Structure formats: structure tokens, C-alpha cells
Amino acid sequence: MVRPTQLLHPQRAPAPVRPAATVLLLRDSPQGIEVLMTRRSMTASFAPGAYVFPGGGIDADDEQAHGQSTRRATQSDAHLTQAIAAIRESFEELGILLARRADGSHLSTAQIAALDRQAPFAAQCAEQGLTLSGAEVFVLAHWITDRDLPRRFDVPFLVARMPEGQEPVADESEQFEPLWVRPADALARHAAGQFFIIFPTIRTLERLQAYPTVDAVLQACAINDEPLFTSCPRAGLMNAHESRHMEHEAPFGELALVCPDGLIVHELSWQTERPVPLLKNVQRLTAPNPGFMTGPGTNSYVVGDPATGHIVIDPGPDDAGHIERLWRAAGGDIRAIVCTHSHADHSPGAPRLQALCAAADLGRPPILGLPSAPTARAGSQFTPERALADGERLVLVGADGDRLSSHTLQVVHTPGHAANHLCLLLEEDGLLFSGDHILNGSTTVIDPPDGHMGDYLDSLDRLDRLCEQHGVHFILPAHGYVLGDHPRSADNPASPEHGGARAAIAHLKAHRLAREAKVARAMQTMPDGTMDDWVKIAYDDVPERLWPVAKRSMLAHVEHIQSLGGFNA
């Protein structure tokens, strides 16, 4: 795990979360699903003026009302309590009652109006001979309020079908202006600045619009009787404006690493002029070479501090401006230059950076890595001054006042993307510098003969074991944001159990194997087909303009399939 001494910002405890529940009341219309939303009071302490779904805090009485409610066999005690809380809040805020008489009918709007919304809820239902419809309320999603906010809630987003014969009547104290709206229309109005909704509402509506009917939503939720997704979002800055992100979105891991307690201070917009501090001992400087194959550009990393000196990982292309900025980011004190592999966007800048250090009489850092194999293409030739050994450790040590500062990079040979590819593990902080083996936002190209799919998959397995052994939760790729998350805990309930690094590796391997299965099916479907024929089937989910690049990795899959005794084309 990252040493607290290396965090950029003082640690603080986020506000505690309070249990709550909200419910999406749904109905079918000729245009598709509609959901009931209301506007919160402008004086509300949380999300004033926002359009929301009805809901509120969970009371102790909600759990006591289990005996007055129907229940699914797979419905847990917690989910039933949440459902009862949502039923109660719908009644109190909007005069909607998800409860049935003995004959299965609902009360009408007029009959509900005769009830007292301020009186004890369960007792009134019992007096009316009503059974709460807990079994008809399903969990759609689970949201935990962002760590940066002063009021936080642990909220299941439930779904239920709107009872027939009832109309919403707002309480005019907490909720106003109830309206039925299609998810797509609500999102469009919000984008136009006409309908204020907060981040969890936006993301929930985005997912809801994929379902054609209310039945489709309820059936999806009933499969496992658990939330379809769970999220505790994180926020950063994008061009100085607040930007929130869920766990599956590209910037999330970087925000978890840099601002674990939820401070909104980290700038996410890509730029090449200044180094981006990720920790006190890790800076990222992105080369000005954005493009189809490089994304926002090649990430060069500077590891170390003024007391220990620095190691530069992947100096990038031979760009004079980028190299000078790297040199300045390290204060000129560079002890070694490591290239993860020989490709033209990673290693060519190494000699220029070395010469810049030597010219300033600050030493001549060695250029380290693995020499390119004979299979490397002509434009990807690289010979280090010293070849690194698998498992070798590069150690930076220095006195920082009364404290000894150290940073240890372990070398890990990971062939697959290139025969001479290596990754680096920063042992003290559990960080994996993955080069091009693992990227954020795309999968790396495996281009035979220097690329090899079997080696690539084996290297993924090795990295997974390494992450487990060293408690690695974050991956710093050569292209894109940091990947990962902290392990699951009471303060981080939406995270994978073992943290985000191993989850990212597992997801990547599953994606590769799923693609390989599609390649095998294409080969079986068209045994006399060509690569051009197979790519149309195996990469039918990829834009056609990307097929020329996809064919390079597809060849690696074909070779791997054949090496395992599969279809022999």
C-alpha cells in the first residue's frame, strides 16, 4: 500500500454515511418507460432544488414492520428494510402507497388523501388492513455519497411499478412538482440546463434508458436480487471544473490514488507542459505525441525525491522539449533511465536525456532495459547500456532530515507486447509501472513476431501474482490515467475485495480470452477464410476503421489458438 508519507494531501476522515433509501416508481408508456421525479425544496440541506426520486432516511420502525410486508424468498432482511423505508417515504412525500388490501387491490388517491402522512406509518396501514408490498420492490443500484461531501448517505436505489389508480401529490414541504418523465428526456433537459439532477441520478437514468419496459427492469433486478451496480464516486477537476467519475470510468483510479479521502484538487485534463504529481515520490509527464496508437500521449514517470535522486521510466520519443521538461522535473538529478521496451514512443528519448544530464555535470545516468529481440521491427531497435535482470532491484536511498528515504523498483520481465518488455514494481508503495502491457482505456496491440499472445497472457498471470504478493492496488500505465482502487472496506464498499489492480488484470485477461473465443469461432465458421474475412466476425463490435490494427492482434490470437492444438487454418 502507498506510504502515508508519500501522499500529496493531508489525510482526513470523510463524513460518516447515513442509511437511506430511494425508489424509482416506473410506468410504461407508448414512448417507453417513464419514471416519477420531484423537485427538492430550495432550502433542503442536501441537493437543494434538484429533481430526485422519492426517498429518505431509514427509521428503526422500518425494520420492525417486516411482519406487515410481503417478502420474496431471496430478499434479505436489509433489502426488505430498505423496501419498507422506500414505501414509507413514497407515502409521506408523494401520497403514493405501495400496499395492498386483502383482495390485492390498492387504495385510490382519494382514499390515501384521507390518511395522515405525519402519523405513524405502519400503524395506519395496519388499521386499514393493508399489507406492505415489500416483495414488489427490487434493488436496482447501490450508491454511497461521494467522500468530498459534508452530508453522506448509503442509499439503495430501488424500483417498483407505480400502483394503478394513484396519482402523486407532493407534500409541498420536502418535495414539489411531481412529474413523469422518460429517462432520455430527463437527461436531455439536464444537458440543456433546464432540469437540475445530481450525479447518481444522472448515471442511474443513463442505465435505466436501456430497458424497454418496466417488466424488463424488474426481471433484471430479480435475477440475483442484488444491486446491478454499486458505486461511491470520486471527483476531480477537468479544466478547473468539477468532474465526477464512477469506478469503471478511466479517471477513477487516479483520483483514488492521489486523493484517497475525496479532496477535489486533482486536475485530470491532459497537458504536456508540466509534470503531474501523483505522489510526493512519483511524477508523470506526458509526451506531446497524442494519437490513435498513443491516446493522450506516452507517459514518462519520474520516481524519487530530492534526497534520493530520481529514476526516469520511459523517456518517450526524442522530443527536445519533453526531454528538457523531464530533466527539470527531476531537478537534474537523474540516477538511471529505464525503458520498458524498445518501441518508438518509449525509448528514443533516452540518449538525449542522458546527454542533458552529462552536459550539466550532474552525472551520466545509465540507460537500462532489455535489448530488442531479433524479432523486433526495424523501427523498434533498442540496445541499453546495461541489460536488466528479471527480479533485479534498482534502489534510491537518501537522508531526508532525520529520516532515511528509499524507493525500490523491482524489474519484472513481461514479454508479450514486445519480447523485451518489462514492468517495474515500486515496492515500498505497492505501485506497478506497466509500460504498454496494461493500458487504461484500451487493450495493447500484440503484433507478431515480436508480440506473442501466449507470453502476454502468461505475463498477466505473473503480474497478478506479484500484485497479490506485494499488496499492489494501483497500476501506472504508459498511456492513460492510473488504474486501480483501494481494497474493499467499510469506507470503500464499492471496491473489489483485493483492490483495483488485480481486478483490472482479471478484467483484461477475461477480455483477451473472450476475444480469442470469437477469433476461434470465426476460424471455425469460415475455415477457408482469410484474415480479412475473420476480422469482420471476430471484431464486429469494433469500428471498421480499426480493423487494420485489430488484424495484428488477431494474428497473435490465431497463432496462440494453433499452438494450443486448436483450429489449424
Question: Over the stretch 306-358, which tens digit does the pLDDT of each residue have?
Answer: 999 999 999 999 999 999 999 999 999 999 999 999 999 999 999 999 999 99
For residue 407, list its beta bridge partners.
396
Q: What are the two backbone dihedrals, phi and then psi, of residue 26, each rounded to the nearest 5 degrees? A: -120, 150
C-alpha distance across the termini of the chain, in Å: 47
- Output the pLDDT for position 568: 53
**How does DSSP classify residue 487?**
P
Q: What was the pLDDT predicted at 173? A: 79
What is d(CA 216, CA 265) in angstroms, rounded to the nearest whole number?
41
Highest mean pLDDT out of 107-116, 453-462, 556-565: 453-462
> DSSP character for 489?
B
The reply to whether 148 and 289 lie within a common domain is no
Last residue of some domain: 470, 493, 516? 493
251 and 155 share one domain: no
The stretch 544-568 carries a mean pLDDT of: 89
**Average pLDDT value for residue range 7-32:** 94
The reply to whether 218 and 251 lie within a common domain is no
Residue 130 within any structural domain of the chain: yes
**Within 13 Å, how many C-alpha atoms sit on residue 545's CB side?**
1
Rounded Cα–Cα distance for residues 90 and 159 (Å): 12
User: Count of alpha carbons within 13 Å of 382, Cβ hemisphere only?
Assistant: 32
**214, 140 contact by CB (below 8 A):** no
pLDDT at 341: 97
In a domain, 533, yes or no: no
* In a domain? residue 542: no
The DSSP code sequence of 16-62 is PEEEEEEEEEEEEETTEEEEEEEEEPTT-SSSTT-EE-SEEEPPHHH
| Count, residues in the chain | 569
* In a shared domain, residues 138 and 212: yes
Q: At 25, which CATH number?
A: 3.90.79.10
Q: Quick check: 265 and 294 in contact, CB under 8 A?
A: no
Question: If DSSP codes are grouped into helix, strand and coil, which group holds residue 2?
Answer: coil
Domain boundary among 493, 520, 542: 493
Scanning the structure block, which residue is given the C-alpha cell 452530508?
151
Measure the CA–CA gap between 424 and 269, rounded to whole angstroms.
Answer: 26
Tell me whether residue 530 is in a domain. Answer: no
- The pLDDT assigned to 302 comes to 98
Number of structural domains (the chain) is 3
Mean pLDDT computed over every residue of the chain:
94
CA-angle at 145, arms to 144 and 150, nearest 5°? 145
For residue 349, what is the domain's CATH number?
Answer: 3.60.15.10
pLDDT tens digits along 203-226: 999 999 999 999 999 999 999 999
Enclosing H/E stretch for 311 = strand 309-313
How many Å apart are CA 120 and CA 68, to the nearest integer? Answer: 14
The yes-or-no verdict on residue 361 having pLDDT over 80 is: no
At 569 the pLDDT is 44
Percentages helix, strand, coil for the chain (3-state, rounded to 5) are 30, 25, 45
Of 226, 81, 229, 231, nearest to 145 (Cα)? 231
**Is the alpha carbon torsion for 73, 79, 83, 88 positive or negative?**
positive
Percent of the chain with pLDDT over 70: 99
**Cα distance between residue 466 and residue 29, in whole Å:** 53
Q: In this predicted structure, what is the pLDDT of residue 404?
A: 87
Domain final residue, candidates 493, 525, 546? 493
Q: What gap in Å lies between CA 526 and CA 510, rounded to an integer?
A: 24
For residue 92, give every residue at least 6 positions away whose Cβ sits within 8 Å of its Cβ, in sequence order, or none. Answer: 56, 117, 118, 121, 171
Q: What is the mean predicted confidence (pLDDT) over 444-459?
A: 96
Question: 359 and 417: one domain?
Answer: yes
Task: Evaluate whether 512 touches 443 at the Cβ level (below 8 Å).
Answer: yes
Contact 111, 93 (CB under 8 A): no
Q: How far apart are CA 80 and CA 66, in angstroms?
A: 7
Instruction: Give the Cα-Cα-Cα angle 168, 170, 172 (nearest 5 degrees).
Output: 170
Q: Are residues 227 and 311 in the same domain?
A: no
Average pLDDT of span 466-478 = 96
Q: Above 70 in pLDDT, residue 150?
A: yes
User: Do both 378 and 312 map to the same domain?
Assistant: yes
- Evaluate whether 250 touches 243 at the Cβ level (below 8 Å): no
Give yes or no for a contact between 133 and 70, defined as CB atoms under 8 angstroms apart. Answer: yes
Is 313 in the same domain as 435? yes
Residues 6+ apart with CB under 8 A from 450: 372, 373, 375, 376, 377, 380, 418, 419
Q: Per residue in 249-273, pLDDT tens?
A: 999 999 999 999 999 999 999 999 9
In a domain? residue 5: no
Range of the domain at 107: 17-232
Cell (9 digits) for 216: 424488463
Report the pLDDT averaged over residues 170-183.
89
Please check whether residues 210 and 296 belong to one and the same domain: no
In 389-507, DSSP assigns E strands to: 393-400, 403-413, 422-426, 431-435, 474-477, 483-484
Measure the CA–CA gap between 306 and 60, rounded to whole angstroms: 56
Dist. CA 310–CA 428, nearest whole Å: 15
Cα separation values, 191 from 186, 197, 355, Å = 9, 10, 51
Residue appearing with cell numbers 476522515: 13
Q: Give the span between the Cα atoms of 118 and 271, in whole angstroms.
A: 55
Is residue 401 pLDDT above 90, yes or no? no
Please give the Cα distance from 144 to 233 (Å, whole number).
Answer: 8
Report how far residue 284's alpha carbon sits from residue 326's, in angstroms, rounded to the nearest whole number.
9
CB of 153 closer than 8 Å to CB of 17: yes
Reading the block at residue 446, the C-alpha cell is 500484440
Tell whether 304 and 245 lie within a shared domain. Answer: no
CA distances to 326, 477, 543, 549, 554 from 546, rounded to whole Å, are 33, 22, 6, 6, 12
Judge whether 113 lies within some domain.
Answer: yes
Q: Is 180 exposed, middle or buried (0-12, 13-18, 19+ CB in 10 A)?
A: middle
Q: Is the per-residue pLDDT at 128 higher than 70?
A: yes
Residue 298 near residue 436 (C-beta atoms within 8 A): no
Q: Which residues contact 495 (CB under 8 A, 6 or more apart)?
A: 247, 485, 486, 487, 488, 489
Confidence class of residue 106 from pLDDT cuts 50, 70 and 90?
very high
- In-domain check, residue 336: yes
Q: Which of 360 and 416 is assigned the larger pLDDT? A: 416
Distance CA(295)–CA(1), nearest Å, equals 28
In the predicted model, what is the mean pLDDT of residues 227-254?
A: 95
The Cα–Cα gap between 557 and 474 comes to 28
* Residue 262 sits in the same domain as residue 286: no
Residue 532 lies in a domain: no
Looking at residue 567, what is its pLDDT? 63
Judge if 199 and 256 occupy the same domain.
Answer: no
| Among 8-22, 35-49, 191-205, 214-228, the least confident range | 35-49
